[in-house]
Amino acid sequence: MKVAIITGTRPEIIKLAPLIKELKGNSSVVFSGQHYDFDLSMRFFKELDLPLPDYKLKISKQSPAVQIGEIISKLHTVFCEIKPDTVMVQGDTNTALAGAICALKMGIPVNHVESGLRSFDWRMPEEHNRIQIDHISELLFASTSYSKKNLINEMVHGKIFVTGNTVMDSIKLYMKLAEKKSTLEISQDDFVLFTMHRAENVDNENVMKNVLSAIIDTKIKVVFPVHPRTLKRLRQFNLLTKITENKNIKLLGSVGYFDILKLMKNSMFIVSDSGGIQEEATSPLIRKKVLVVRKTTDRPESVKNGFSQVVGTSKNRILKVMKQTIKNPKLINKRSPYGNGESSKIIVSLLKRFFD
């Protein structure tokens, strides 16, 4: 069985790492170059002790439409060389969509890790991508029964399996190593971790101002690892000085996976627009409340189980809920809805059943 694994962004590398290890050399890894910044790409192959990609594509820094077209074209050449039995994509990036379309048009079965996520928010580019990928995939590996229900309701043609989420496997694999190897020096543990990177948030000046004002007005210690896209917008909207001059906010550059695991584990709670963090925070090795600064979430299971709370992007609402959470950040004792860290084994066994 030959499996071509397509990746191009930091979250994909993290979530596919356990699968790459579980496949034990029966895969060819293709990196699209969507995250061209070293700190968002190659750094994670090295950090997670993964072999470097077998193929690295070079794509331009243009619009998503141009990037998707370039990736499809270049993957065609790669697939002709690899001749894979199946292609594996993860999540909802432009890389995943391009990989799925290329495989489909070349007659190669596509499998989708983390299928069935839905925000029902058409403003999100990720929503466009994930729906298309799900409808052209042969095997759909859903993280939860809720995701499976979404797929059934949409009458996808592929076979659906509930496998849990491979991000739980990654935490299980790497948490102890993270505690040893993280180079971050955060002296206090009474801080809130804050991250924000989604286009619908950081590309909107009013939203950025609302969220940052709420963060500042809580007057609590905040650690803010800033995404390159977010940093660019902070400068553009003349907001960066407001953050750097605030003594309660510790601004960090792009951090590695071990660092973010350490920050999540040591924080009081988390304020974020990240989907992955909503999943990771449910791990028994982390277990932190996440306040989701979005109007919708594609991880409703986390909300239902009390791990997350959608707080929107209004300053007053965010401020109110943060102050409430500071008083009582503890979680009720519930299991993660995203599995027990065995997802990769389940997925590989299914691949062998269908493609060996």
Summarize pLDDT for 254-296 with one digit per residue, the tens. Answer: 888 999 999 999 999 999 999 999 999 999 999 999 999 999 9
Q: What is the pLDDT of residue 205?
A: 96
Other C-beta atoms closer than 10 Å to the C-beta of 253 total 10
Q: Is 28 in contact with 6 (CB distance < 8 Å)? A: no
CB 164 within 8 A of CB 143: yes
Judged by average pLDDT, the poorest of 41-45, 100-104, 123-127, 129-133 is 41-45
Q: Which domains does the chain have, with CATH numbers?
A: 3-164+341-355 (3.40.50.2000), 183-327 (3.40.50.2000)
> What pTM does this model have?
0.91
CA–CA distances in Å: residue 25 to residues 4, 28, 78, 223 = 11, 8, 18, 38
Residue 189 banded pLDDT, cuts 50, 70, 90: confident
Helices (H), 51-144: 64-82, 94-105, 125-135
Catalytic residue among 76, 112, 135, 197: 197
pLDDT at 254: 81
CB 12 within 8 A of CB 91: yes
Q: What is the pLDDT of residue 37?
A: 64
Q: What is the mean pLDDT of the chain?
A: 93
Tens-place pLDDT, residues 50-68: 999 999 998 887 889 999 9
- Taking the C-alpha atoms of residue 296 and residue 194, their distance in angstroms, rounded to an integer, is 18
Residue 78, C-beta contacts closer than 8 angstroms, at least 6 positions apart:
4, 30, 55, 57
- Give per-residue pLDDT as tens, 218-253: 999 999 999 988 999 999 999 999 999 999 999 998
197 catalytically annotated: yes
Question: Binning pLDDT at 50, 70 and 90, where does residue 33 land?
Answer: confident
Query: Which letter does DSSP use for residue 29 in this model?
Result: E
pLDDT value, residue 158: 98
